Amino acid sequence: MSRNTRIVLVFGGFVTAVAAAFYPIFFHPLTHKDQYKKVQKMNRAGINQADVQPVGVKTWSDPFKPTDK
């Protein structure tokens, strides 16, 4: 195996590993917004945000909801 082929395979393997690690962190949630909304709605049911929020910090708002600016 030539030296250039080995370098290309090592670099390609590294890029593939980074892409494989990045997919579930970024692309899967981006393409499955409705699923994540439903899960968060169930997880936050019965929680009063003002009771668990530290003093002086803005309460959580839905990042998927467009803002009126």
**Residue 35 structural domain:** 3-44
Q: Taking the CA of residue 61 as centre, how many other CA atoms within 13 Å lie in the half-sphere pointing to its CB?
A: 5
Mean pLDDT of the 33-39 span = 90
Is residue 59 in some structural domain?
A: no
Domains in the chain: how many in total?
1
Q: Taking the CA of residue 32 as centre, how many other CA atoms within 13 Å lie in the half-sphere pointing to its CB?
A: 12
Is the predicted pLDDT of residue 17 greater than 60, yes or no?
Answer: yes
By the 8 A CB rule, do 53 and 59 touch? yes
Question: What SS3 string covers the chain?
Answer: CCHHHHHHHHHHHHHHHHHHHHHHHHHHHHHCHHHHHHHHHHHCCCCCHHHHCCCCCCCCCCCCCCCCC
The reported pTM is: 0.49
Is residue 51 in some structural domain?
A: no
Is the predicted pLDDT of residue 18 greater than 90, yes or no?
Answer: yes
Quick one: pLDDT at residue 22? 92
